[in-house]
Amino acid sequence: MPLILIAGVVTSSPKSDPFPTQGRPHCTVHIKTAESEGAWVVRGFDDLASELEALLAGDAVAIQGSLSIEASGQAGHRTIRISVIAGQVMPLWRRFPNRLPVHQAVASAR
More confident residue, 42 or 18: 42
Report d(CA 94, CA 15) in Å as an integer.
Answer: 18
Q: Please tell me the pTM assigned to this model.
A: 0.74
CA distances from 15 to 18, 48, 62, 78, 110 (A): 10, 13, 18, 26, 41
Asked if pLDDT for residue 41 goes beyond 90, the answer is: yes
pLDDT at position 105 = 43
Asked if pLDDT for residue 62 goes beyond 50, the answer is: yes
Q: How confident is the model at residue 34 (pLDDT cuts 50, 70, 90)?
A: confident
Cβ–Cβ under 8 Å, residues 83 and 71: no
| Average pLDDT for the chain | 83
pLDDT at position 109 = 44
Name all domains of the chain by residue range, CATH numbers in brackets.
Answer: 3-109 (2.40.50.140)
